[in-house]
Amino acid sequence: MPVLSKRALEGLRTYQYKPAGYTVLDDWHQPFWNWCTELLPRWLAPNLITLTGVFGLTVAYLVSWAYLPSMEGDAPRWVYAGCGLACLAYLHLDCLDGKQARRTSSSSPLGQLFDHGCDALAVHLVVTMLAASISGGFSWQTVAGHMAIMGPWVAAHWEEYHTGVMLYGNGYWGVTEANYLMVAVHLFTAAVGPGFWRWRVADMLHTKAAPWPLRADAHIFDVVLVVISGFAVQQIAGQVWRVFFTRISERMPAAERGHKQLGRPAAARHLSQLLAVLGLCSIALLEACSGGVSQARATLVTAGLAYAVQATKLIMDHMAKEPFEALGWPLALLALNIVCRRAAIPWLAAYVWGVAAIMLVGYLHYITNVIGEICAFLGIACLTIKQAPS
C-alpha cells in the first residue's frame, strides 16, 4: 500500500521552501560554503552529500556507544574529538547539499525532504553523543536534556507547517551557532577530559551548595542542562506565540495552504500529538534509567527512531500540503516498551531489544517507501543525478 496519495505527491511537486532567520554567522559562512561547493564534482548528487554527513555521525555515534555504553565514564580522548569532528562535518555538509543542487540544476522537493529527514535522525545521534561527552549517564537530567533539544527542533517544523516559514534563528543565535557549541563541547572534553563535567559546582565556588536554580549537589553537566533548558523555553515560547497569536496561517495563500489543517484548533491538536510522542519517549527513557545499560540503550534507540519518523511525517505533510496525523505504530511500540518493563516479564532485555529492532525496520521501511514513491512520481533518482536526454 502506498504511503503517499496522488494528491500528496501533486502537492509535493509544487512545494516552495521559505527559510528565514539566518544569523550573522550564517552570512559569514556563505563565501566558504560557496567555495566548497565549487570544489565538488558535478556528478555528486546533493542527497549523497547529506547521506555522507549522516554516515559520519553514525560512525561516531557507534564508536561513542562502544567506549561509553552507559554514557558516562572516561573514553580515549580521540573518541570525543571524533564526535566533535563528525558534528562539524555534518554542519557544513548539511549546508552544501542545497548549493550543489542549485549548481547542478537538480533541486527537487525530495532533496528538501531528504535533508530535513536526515536532520531528524541526526538530532538523536548528536544529542546522545553530547550526553556521553559530558558524562550525563542514564539519568533524569539526560532525559530532560534530550527533550530540551528534541522539543524545540520538532516544534520548529510544527511552526513551519502552520506559517509556511522555517526559522533558523533570530539573527544572532540559530542552528549554526548551536551546532558549533556542540562541537566545542566535544573538543573541550577531548582537550581536558570528561572528568571536568563531573566536578561539583559547590566545590568550584568554594560554597556549601550550588546556587539556584541548580541542585545543591549539582555538577557541571547540570549547568549545561540549565543552559539548554533556558534556550529551549525561550525558543518554544516564540514558536507558540507566532503560531497561536500572530494569525500568520490566515494569510497563507490558497496554493500554499493546499489541504492542510490550519488555525488554532488544528495547531493545538497537532502540538498535542507531538507532545504525546515526546511524553512517551520521556516515560520510556526515565523508566529505562533504573534498568541495565543494555536495556537503556535499546530504549534510547527506540525513542530516537520514533522521534525521527514522526518528525519526518510532519515535514512530509507540510511539503505535500496534507493534514497531519502522527503515525500510530511508533507510539504503540513506545507504549509496548513501557508495558514490557512495568510487567517485569521474563527475558525483558530480549523484548526491549526486539521492540527496538521492529522500530528500526519500520523506520527504514517507511523512509525507503516514501523516497521510492517520490522518485517514481518525479522521475528522478535519489543518490545520482539523472542526465537530461541530449
pLDDT in tens, the chain (390 residues): 789 999 999 999 989 999 998 999 999 999 999 999 999 999 999 999 999 999 999 999 999 999 999 999 999 999 999 999 999 999 999 999 999 999 998 899 999 999 999 999 999 999 999 999 999 999 999 999 999 999 999 999 999 999 999 998 888 889 999 999 999 999 999 999 999 998 888 777 778 777 767 777 778 888 888 889 988 999 999 999 999 998 888 888 888 999 999 999 999 999 999 999 999 999 999 999 888 899 999 999 999 999 999 999 999 999 999 999 999 999 999 999 999 888 878 888 889 999 999 999 999 999 999 999 999 999 999 999 877 554
Angle at 139 between CA 138 and CA 141, to 5 degrees: 130
Q: How far apart are CA 258 and CA 321, in angstroms?
A: 5
pLDDT recorded at residue 50: 96
> Is 387 part of any domain?
no
> Is 371 part of any domain?
yes
pLDDT recorded at residue 76: 97
pLDDT recorded at residue 339: 92
> Is 384 part of any domain?
no
- Is-contact 289 296, C-beta < 8 A? yes
Active-site residue, 116 included: yes
Quote the number of domains for the chain.
1
pLDDT recorded at residue 388: 56
> Is 1 part of any domain?
no
- Among 94, 93, 67, 90, smallest CA distance to 78 is for 67
Which domain, by its residues, includes 357? 6-378
Task: Show the cell assigned to 38.
Answer: 565549487
> Is 255 part of any domain?
yes
pLDDT recorded at residue 389: 53
What is the sign of the dihedral through the CA atoms of 221, 222, 226 and 232? positive
Q: How far apart are CA 18 and CA 328, in angstroms?
A: 29
Q: Which of 29, 92, 116, 270 is catalytic?
A: 116
The conformation of residue 197, written as its DSSP 8-state character, comes to G
> Is 228 part of any domain?
yes
Q: How far apart are CA 40 and CA 35, in angstroms?
A: 9
> Is 385 part of any domain?
no
- Residue 372, classed as helix, strand or coil, is helix
Work out the angle between the directed axes of helices 109-133 and 293-320 (0-180°, nearest 10): 150
Task: Show the cell assigned to 176.
Answer: 549554526
pTM above 0.85, yes or no: yes
Residue whose C-alpha cell reads 555538577 in the numeric block: 219
Q: How far apart are CA 160 and CA 155, in angstroms?
A: 8
Q: Which amino acid is at 22?
A: Y
Q: How far apart are CA 336 and CA 329, in angstroms?
A: 10
> Is 346 part of any domain?
yes
List Cα–Cα distances, 314 to 157, 200, 307, in angstroms. Answer: 7, 41, 11
Q: E-strand spans in the chain?
A: 19-20, 166-167
Cis check: omega of the bond before 213, within 30 degrees of 0: yes
Q: What are 134's strand-pairing partners?
A: none
pLDDT recorded at residue 5: 94
175-195 core/surface letters (b: 16 or more CB in 10 A; e: else): bbebbeebbebbbbbbeeebe
The conformation of residue 107, written as its DSSP 8-state character, comes to -
